[in-house]
Amino acid sequence: MTQQTLAYLYLAIAIVTEVSATSALKASAEFTRVIPSLIVVVGYAVSFYFMTLVLKTMPVGITYAIWAGLGIVLVAIVGAVTYKEIPGIPAMIGMALIIAGVVIIHVFEKH
Protein backbone atom coordinates (compact mmCIF):
# COMPACT_ATOMS: atom_id res chain seq x y z
CA MET A 1 0.00 0.00 0.00
CA THR A 2 1.44 3.39 -0.96
CA GLN A 3 1.88 6.26 1.49
CA GLN A 4 -0.82 8.23 -0.33
CA THR A 5 -3.30 5.33 -0.17
CA LEU A 6 -2.51 4.82 3.50
CA ALA A 7 -3.04 8.53 4.13
CA TYR A 8 -6.50 8.36 2.58
CA LEU A 9 -7.34 5.27 4.64
CA TYR A 10 -6.25 7.08 7.80
CA LEU A 11 -8.23 10.14 6.74
CA ALA A 12 -11.35 7.99 6.24
CA ILE A 13 -10.90 6.54 9.74
CA ALA A 14 -10.42 10.06 11.16
CA ILE A 15 -13.59 11.27 9.44
CA VAL A 16 -15.74 8.32 10.50
CA THR A 17 -14.60 8.49 14.13
CA GLU A 18 -15.10 12.27 14.23
CA VAL A 19 -18.60 11.93 12.78
CA SER A 20 -19.39 9.22 15.34
CA ALA A 21 -18.12 11.41 18.18
CA THR A 22 -19.98 14.49 16.98
CA SER A 23 -23.18 12.52 16.49
CA ALA A 24 -22.90 11.10 20.01
CA LEU A 25 -22.67 14.59 21.52
CA LYS A 26 -26.43 15.03 21.41
CA ALA A 27 -27.04 11.56 22.83
CA SER A 28 -24.60 12.28 25.68
CA ALA A 29 -27.14 14.77 27.12
CA GLU A 30 -24.43 17.20 28.19
CA PHE A 31 -22.17 14.32 29.29
CA THR A 32 -24.73 12.94 31.74
CA ARG A 33 -25.03 9.59 29.89
CA VAL A 34 -21.95 7.38 30.19
CA ILE A 35 -21.91 5.36 26.95
CA PRO A 36 -22.53 8.25 24.53
CA SER A 37 -20.04 10.36 26.51
CA LEU A 38 -17.39 7.66 26.13
CA ILE A 39 -18.11 7.49 22.39
CA VAL A 40 -17.51 11.25 22.19
CA VAL A 41 -14.19 11.18 24.05
CA VAL A 42 -12.82 8.04 22.41
CA GLY A 43 -14.10 9.06 18.98
CA TYR A 44 -12.37 12.44 19.07
CA ALA A 45 -9.15 10.93 20.45
CA VAL A 46 -9.01 8.30 17.70
CA SER A 47 -9.94 10.86 15.06
CA PHE A 48 -7.17 13.27 16.04
CA TYR A 49 -4.63 10.45 16.30
CA PHE A 50 -5.37 9.36 12.73
CA MET A 51 -5.28 12.99 11.59
CA THR A 52 -1.70 13.20 12.88
CA LEU A 53 -0.82 10.18 10.74
CA VAL A 54 -2.41 11.78 7.67
CA LEU A 55 -0.44 14.99 8.23
CA LYS A 56 2.84 13.09 7.72
CA THR A 57 1.91 12.79 4.04
CA MET A 58 -0.71 15.42 3.16
CA PRO A 59 -0.68 19.20 3.68
CA VAL A 60 -2.69 20.40 6.67
CA GLY A 61 -4.96 22.68 4.62
CA ILE A 62 -5.96 19.95 2.18
CA THR A 63 -6.39 17.40 4.97
CA TYR A 64 -8.58 19.72 7.01
CA ALA A 65 -10.69 20.76 4.03
CA ILE A 66 -11.51 17.14 3.22
CA TRP A 67 -12.00 16.18 6.89
CA ALA A 68 -14.26 19.13 7.70
CA GLY A 69 -16.20 19.09 4.42
CA LEU A 70 -17.05 15.41 4.48
CA GLY A 71 -17.63 15.57 8.23
CA ILE A 72 -20.25 18.30 7.82
CA VAL A 73 -22.15 16.34 5.21
CA LEU A 74 -21.96 13.03 7.09
CA VAL A 75 -23.04 14.60 10.40
CA ALA A 76 -26.02 16.16 8.60
CA ILE A 77 -26.94 12.73 7.20
CA VAL A 78 -26.62 11.11 10.64
CA GLY A 79 -28.71 13.93 12.15
CA ALA A 80 -31.41 13.40 9.52
CA VAL A 81 -31.52 9.63 10.03
CA THR A 82 -31.00 9.45 13.80
CA TYR A 83 -32.61 12.62 15.08
CA LYS A 84 -35.03 13.40 12.23
CA GLU A 85 -33.27 16.78 11.74
CA ILE A 86 -33.92 17.18 8.03
CA PRO A 87 -31.90 20.03 6.48
CA GLY A 88 -33.75 22.55 4.32
CA ILE A 89 -33.06 23.29 0.67
CA PRO A 90 -30.50 26.08 1.40
CA ALA A 91 -28.57 23.73 3.71
CA MET A 92 -28.61 20.97 1.09
CA ILE A 93 -27.36 23.38 -1.58
CA GLY A 94 -24.61 24.52 0.77
CA MET A 95 -23.57 20.94 1.47
CA ALA A 96 -23.55 20.18 -2.27
CA LEU A 97 -21.19 23.13 -2.70
CA ILE A 98 -19.00 21.77 0.10
CA ILE A 99 -18.85 18.39 -1.65
CA ALA A 100 -18.01 20.15 -4.92
CA GLY A 101 -15.20 21.99 -3.15
CA VAL A 102 -13.78 18.76 -1.72
CA VAL A 103 -13.91 17.14 -5.16
CA ILE A 104 -12.17 20.13 -6.76
CA ILE A 105 -9.44 20.04 -4.12
CA HIS A 106 -8.97 16.30 -4.53
CA VAL A 107 -8.91 16.34 -8.33
CA PHE A 108 -6.89 19.47 -9.01
CA GLU A 109 -4.58 20.00 -6.03
CA LYS A 110 -1.15 18.45 -6.41
CA HIS A 111 0.14 17.24 -3.07
Percent share of the chain, pLDDT over 90: 85
- Domain containing 49 equals 3-108
Structural domains in the chain (count): 1
Confidence of residue 8 (pLDDT cuts 50, 70, 90): very high
Phi-psi region of 31 (alpha: psi -120 to 50; beta: other; left: phi over 0): left
Instruction: Report angle CA 12, 43, 91 to the nearest 5 degrees.
Output: 65
The confidence score (pLDDT) of residue 111 equals: 60
